[in-house]
Amino acid sequence: MGDRTLDYIALGILIFVVLTIIYAIIYIHDIPYKMAKKREHPHQDAIHTAGWVSLILMHTIWPFLWIWASLYKPGVGWNMNNTSKNDNENKKEIDSLNKRVDELEKLLAKES
């Protein structure tokens, strides 16, 4: 093999590595969009566009896109309305437990 053959092999490997890195960067930046699409997120297009903008901004907003895409859950939505229902259920349970504790304290006071 001559010197030229090794140069062409090295050039081929270099081109392959550069293309692989470019593909990996684009693939990683599409992860929030794929998450949003899978979850039927109402802002899929905005997340996709912001992913491309994140490439220009050197990945600074990409973690926020990940969070934005993962907040929405299919069937539940943003899960903002369910907190008051859970709070009411928790208050009822706490009240019933307080009543039971009061009854047990009365029983213990009678036995003493």
Residues 72-104: tens digit of each pLDDT: 988 778 766 655 556 778 888 899 999 999 999
Task: Tell whether 92 is covered by a domain.
Answer: no
pLDDT for residue 82 = 54
Q: Report the domain count for the chain.
A: 1
Nearest Cα residue to 51 out of 27, 19, 21, 20? 27
Domain, as residue range, for 58: 3-80
Contact 29, 52 (CB under 8 A): yes
DSSP secondary structure letters along 18-63:
HHHHHHHHHHHHTHHHHHHHHTT-TTHHHHHHHHHHHHHTTTSSHH
In whole numbers, what is the pLDDT of the chain averaged over residues?
89
Task: Tell whether 62 is covered by a domain.
Answer: yes
Contact 62, 29 (CB under 8 A): yes
Residues 6+ apart with CB under 8 A from 65: 32, 47, 50, 51, 54
pLDDT digits (tens, 9 = 90+) for 38-59: 999 999 999 999 999 998 898 8
